[in-house]
């Protein structure tokens, strides 16, 4: 028999209160034959219950929001939380343009999809797709490129090698070619830490 944790109990209370507020709102909007005074009193009770739920769970809500943000500290360390899907995501400025990446330690290089390459000022139509890469979806053509700047927080690298993927790639990949520029990479406790 499993014992419920305090987090599970808090979630159940929150969901129960949320369901009560939604259900009460539904009943009020369906024009039940209640007097106007009773309708107004019920509405205020639901508002009050909703406010209690938010106040009571505010620390949990705020903690969840803060836990899902990349953090930079004064020593130059970057801490990336693991996403709900188990991956690590980062936004880097590529040639001055914000670009979303999924961290992929199995990828050799920075791999840009065609859309992100265009946003970074590269024209895929003028690239030489001479390389080949094996992916889960089969073999794809790749074009080697050099990125003028790759920046995250206070850190900026110049003349960074990368490849542009000519296949169907939803999200650009941040591979080991870039990650090895960091002196220390650590994955523990649901967070990835990069230090220079």
Per-residue pLDDT tens over the stretch 142-154? 999 999 999 998 8
**Do the domain assignments include residue 32?**
yes
Q: What is the DSSP letter of 68?
A: T
State which residues form the domain around 158.
Answer: 71-195
- For residue 49, what is the enclosing H or E element? helix 36-67
Q: Is residue 21 part of a domain?
A: yes
Claim to verify: residue 116 and residue 21 sit in the same structural domain: no
Tell me the pLDDT tens digit for each residue of 85-115: 889 999 999 999 999 999 988 888 899 999 9
Instruction: Give 25-64 pLDDT, tens digit per residue.
Output: 666 555 555 567 766 777 777 787 777 766 666 555 554 5
The pLDDT of residue 140 is: 84
pLDDT in tens, 151-180: 998 889 999 999 999 888 889 999 998 999
Q: How many domains does the chain have?
A: 2
**Residue-level pLDDT at 66:** 45
Whether this model's pTM surpasses 0.75: no
CA atoms within 13 A on the CB side of 35: 3
Q: Which of 67, 88, 110 is the endpoint of a domain?
A: 67
Find all residues with CB under 8 Å of 112, minimum gap 6, and list them. 94, 99, 120, 122, 145, 162, 163, 164, 165, 172
Give residue 138's pLDDT band: very low, low, confident or very high (50, 70, 90).
Answer: confident
What H or E segment, with its residue span, contains residue 179?
helix 176-179
> Are residues 30 and 82 both part of a single domain?
no
Say if residue 103 is in the same domain as residue 187: yes
- Looking at the fold, whether 144 and 187 belong to one and the same domain comes out as yes
Q: Is 40 left (phi over 0), alpha (psi -120 to 50) or beta?
A: alpha
Does residue 95 sit in the same domain as residue 29? no
- 125 close to 118: Cβ distance less than 8 angstroms: no
Clarify whether residues 23 and 116 are in a common domain: no
Largest CA-CA distance found in the chain, in angstroms, rounded: 76
């Amino acid at each position: 028999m499993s014992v419920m944790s305090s987090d599970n109990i808090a979630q159940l209370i929150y969901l129960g209160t949320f369901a009560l507020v939604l259900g009460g709102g539904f009943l009020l909007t369906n024009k039940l034959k209640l007097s106007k005074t009773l309708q107004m009193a019920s509405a205020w009770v639901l508002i009050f219950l909703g406010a209690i739920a938010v106040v009571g769970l505010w620390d949990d809500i705020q903690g969840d929001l803060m836990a899902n943000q990349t953090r930079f500290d004064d020593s130059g360390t970057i801490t990336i939380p693991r996403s709900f899907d188990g991956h690590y995501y980062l936004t880097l400025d590529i040639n001055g343009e914000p670009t979303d990446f999924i961290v992929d330690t199995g990828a050799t290089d920075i791999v840009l999809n065609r859309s992100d390459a265009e946003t970074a000022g590269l024209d895929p139509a003028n690239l030489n797709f001479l390389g080949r890469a094996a992916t889960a979806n089969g073999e794809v053509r790749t074009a080697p490129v050099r990125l003028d700047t790759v920046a995250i927080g206070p850190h900026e690298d110049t003349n960074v090698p990368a490849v542009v993927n000519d296949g169907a790639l939803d999200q650009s990949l941040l591979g080991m070619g870039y990650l090895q520029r960091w002196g220390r990479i650590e994955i523990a406790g649901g967070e990835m830490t990069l230090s220079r």
